[in-house]
Amino acid sequence: MEESDSEKKMEKENLGPRMDPPIGEPEGSLGWVLPNTAMKKKVLLMGKSGSGKTSMRSIIFANYIARDTRRLGATILDRLHSLQINSSLSTYSLVDSVGNTKTFDVEHSHVRFLGNLVLNLWDCGGQDTFMENYFTSQRDNIFRNVEVLIYVFDVESRELEKDMHYYQSCLEAILQNSPDAKIFCLVHKMDLVQEDQRDLIFKEREEDLRRLSRPLECSCFRTSIWDETLYKAWSSIVYQLIPNVQQLEMNLRNFAEIIEADEVLLFERATFLVISHYQCKEQRDAHRFEKISNIIKQFKLSCSKLAASFQSMEVRNSNFAAFIDIFTSNTYVMVVMSDPSIPSAATLINIRNARKHFEKLERVDGPKQCLLMC
């Protein structure tokens, strides 16, 4: 299954396969519409200016690597001027004298995810003026129909009290306009904290945030753009948005048992976030999913820079064989096998034969079927 020319072009430009209207054309305008069957879910990305929101979003959804986020503001302006950007910008972003990216007002992006699911991502600028406007004149527009609020805290912020005040204001607006929204707090830039202090500092912040969030519940993650923690957090967030995830997991388990795999992972194709997995044998590394996501996404990006498209990979040693291959139109699969008597060709055939079934599962309105053991 080869990627289309348009997908290759978008990956080459670091844009990712997003579904955004051209600049100046609002959603629903002539020439650009979302499919009627699309299930759109509004995601708010909020936090004080310089907390790292735009950098993490660009790594997850726009194929940036961590070191390239230092030039992110200039890159956004370049794309805006050349009309190559695929997201709808209310204004723009700039980089300040110390390298922090400043997002002004709100940038809207539509990210296609697993068939009919579309994430309507609102990256809200964190300057004081804009934050105050969000809670007053723009309150209903910003906080209405929100599925997920992601609030990013800079762990080294010198204005922690103000950060917490804005967070509480967000919660009040959410409680009024979208009381069923899921709340996630990312304590970001943890790489700047001494390693022996990270657990303690994160635990203290987590306790404070859980207390401030009541009566709402929040899930907290510590993150950094320089390691796998960013992928772990966003995989957990996206997992909450997948409408048929239990059906998907049940079928993935059946698939793993049928082909006698040690472990099977399902990655979203554009972001390489882990969206489902099943393991038959205990594994030692608790962070292996996020590490694989990070490594493969960077390798995939390297391929695109050479005008090549990543399709599949096989890694084998004396203890196991791992196969990463295109699975459905929106996913990659990773299958780990330790039985030396099962040839590679048999595993690849099994992956190919399961594709059509999992394609059906991705359709939100599709039939609820189960992959039966035979």
Q: Do the beta carbons of residue 174 and residue 146 sit within 8 Å?
A: yes
Separation of CA 238 from chain center? 6
- Please state the pTM of the whole predicted model: 0.73
CA dihedral of residues 69, 71, 76, 77 (deg, nearest 10): 170
Reported as a single tens digit per residue, the pLDDT across 238-264 is 888 887 788 888 999 999 999 989 999
The amino acid at residue 16 is: G
Task: Name the 3-class secondary structure at 82.
Answer: helix
Q: Do the beta carbons of residue 70 and residue 86 sit within 8 Å?
A: no
Among 109, 184, 188, 110, which Cα is nearest to 150's?
184
pLDDT at 163: 87
pLDDT at 100: 56
Report the distance separating Cα 356 and Cα 3, nearest Å: 17
pLDDT at 115: 63
Task: Name the 3-class secondary structure at 56.
Answer: helix
Among 176, 323, 335, which Cα is nearest to 252's?
335
Strand partners, 314: 323
- Give, in order, the Cα–Cα distances in Å from 33 to each of 85, 159, 175, 306: 17, 42, 31, 32
pLDDT at 255: 92
Sort 169 into a burial class: Cβ within 10 Å, 0-12 / 13-18 / 19+.
Answer: middle
Which residue ranges in the chain fall short of pLDDT 50?
1-36, 74-97, 102-104, 364-374
Q: Do the beta carbons of residue 321 and residue 313 sit within 8 Å?
A: no
